[in-house]
């Protein structure tokens, strides 16, 4: 299960708040399995997940066009019929 996947990594330079960096460096001193790169990877991963959530919220909060609403209603009809067939008793 724990596959070792090699990913291409990019080297970056960033300017960060000195207080935050101090906290990160103290954490790293106490946790040998971490370094600044790993902290940045985790932070960017959390940012990406949050951004994906925001984008999905935007997408699903948009008002549907009349055509989209008709298509959605048609799909609901198909789902209802499939459920009715699946759960009906044979006569």
Give residue-wise pLDDT tens across range 28-73: 999 999 999 999 999 999 999 999 999 999 888 888 899 999 999 9
Q: Is residue 64 part of a domain?
A: yes
Q: Which of 63, 7, 1 is nearest to 37 (CA)?
A: 7
Q: Is residue 4 part of a domain?
A: no
Cβ contacts of residue 35 below 8 Å, gap of 6+? 28
Contact 39, 30 (CB under 8 A): no
Q: Is residue 63 part of a domain?
A: yes
Predicted confidence at residue 8, as pLDDT, reads 86
Total number of domains in the chain = 1
| DSSP code for 89 | P
Predicted confidence at residue 22, as pLDDT, reads 97
The CA-to-CA distance between both ends of the chain, in Å, stands at 47
Predicted confidence at residue 59, as pLDDT, reads 85
Predicted confidence at residue 91, as pLDDT, reads 64
Q: Is residue 11 part of a domain?
A: no
- Find which of 1-10, 17-26, 60-69 is predicted with most confidence, using mean pLDDT: 17-26
Predicted confidence at residue 1, as pLDDT, reads 52
Q: Which domain holds residue 52?
A: 18-87
3-state SS track over 47-80: HHHHHHHHHHHHHHHCCCCHHHHHHHHHHHHHHH
């Amino acid at each position: 299960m724990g596959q070792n996947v090699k990913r291409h990594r990019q080297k970056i330079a960033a300017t960060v708040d000195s207080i935050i960096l101090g906290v990160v460096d103290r954490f790293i001193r106490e946790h040998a399995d971490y370094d600044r790169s790993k902290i940045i990877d985790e932070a960017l991963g959390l940012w990406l997940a949050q951004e994906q959530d925001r984008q999905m919220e935007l997408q699903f909060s948009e008002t549907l066009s009349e055509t989209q609403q008709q298509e959605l209603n048609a799909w609901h009809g198909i789902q209802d019929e499939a459920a009715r067939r699946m759960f009906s008793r044979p006569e």
